[in-house]
Amino acid sequence: MKPWTLLDQKQTQDGLLQLLQRGKKDFIIKIDNQILMNSHLSLTEQALATSAVEMMTPKEGARVLVSGLGMGYTLRAALDALPSKSSVTVVELNPIVIEWCKGELGALTDYPLRDKRVRVVEGDVSNIIMDAAYISKKRYDAIILDLYEGTTEANRDDMHPFYGFEALMKTKDALSTLGIFAVWTEGEDKGFERRLGRAGFSVVQTRPGKGGPRHVVYLASRRKKMTQNN
């Protein structure tokens, strides 16, 4: 088996971020020797975006927020599911990841950052959400969070910037009336479900794929009732 080759690395506030390649299409992203993403394990990321767009109303002219960028699979799935008259703001905290998706990783997903519907923002997605929460014309029809860590950390910190109660209230205000909030996490999280309910969301969860350990996609909305599609 071919060895992994280090293509690039960058020290970040969360640790040493590395991009490695083996062969033509095998890539992994690591942080401090922990594997964050693998180019052959993208099912949940794609299902996250596709499920959000399927539930979203309206689709024509929709405004979608995606964070983070990762290897581009979530963004690509959103673009493939959206009509031409829509817009996607993709937010990534680490500029090096943006550069990787413009370069080495771009071919994996047919260079989604080149799509004319896409606007790239380097920064913290919580700031983008807060801005939309206070300015109605900036609200999104879908907010899709595919971050390095899932929701469980917020069970110990109700002031968590993405999944704490106040953050969820801001996210709800940043959505259009029928907007969808879609989140990737490692597994079922009852604490997160309860916080979503307290914040006024209806929620369903799906586990894309079959057999073995599978990650979870949460879909939340202001609607009183949502239909689950497994």
Query: Can you tell me the distance from the alpha carbon of 67 to that of 124, in angstroms, rounded to the nearest whole number?
Result: 9
Phi-psi region of 133 (alpha: psi -120 to 50; beta: other; left: phi over 0): alpha
Determine if the pTM surpasses 0.75. Answer: yes
Where do we find the tokens 């031409």?
84
Beta strands in 96-198 (DSSP E): 118-122, 140-145, 175-185
Give mean pLDDT, residues 148-162. Answer: 89
d(CA 65, CA 181): 10
Specify the 3-state DSSP secondary structure of 137. helix
The dihedral built from the CA positions of residue 55, 60, 65 and 69, taken in this order, carries a sign that is positive
Mean pLDDT of 109-116: 97
Continuous segment of H or E residues that includes residue 152: none
pLDDT tens-digit profile of 156-210?
888 999 999 999 999 999 999 999 999 999 899 999 999 999 999 999 999 886 6
CB proximity list for 217: less than 8 A, separation 6 or greater: 44, 47, 48, 51, 182, 183, 184, 205, 206, 207, 208
**How many Å apart are CA 35 and CA 23, to the nearest integer?**
18
- Residues with Cβ < 8 Å from 13, sequence gap 6 or more? none
Mean pLDDT, residues 206-230 taken together: 72
Tens of pLDDT, residues 165-180: 999 999 999 999 999 9
Give the relative orientation of helices 190-198 and 165-173 as an angle to the nearest 10 degrees: 50
Sign, Cα dihedral of 60, 61, 67, 71: positive
Residue 200 corresponds to which tokens in the numbers above? Answer: 């006024």
Three-class SS of residue 160?
coil
Token representation of residue 228? 């689950």
Q: Which residue has the higher pLDDT, 23 or 218?
A: 218
Domain architecture of the chain: domains with CATH: 41-221 (3.40.50.150)
Average pLDDT over residues 114-141: 96
Q: What band does 33 get if pLDDT is binned at 50, 70 and 90?
A: confident
Q: Is 63 helix (H, G, I), strand (E, B) or coil?
A: strand
- Beta-bridge partner residues of 121: 91
| pLDDT band of 225, cuts 50, 70, 90 | low
What is the overall mean pLDDT for the chain?
A: 92
Q: Residue 228: what pLDDT?
A: 55
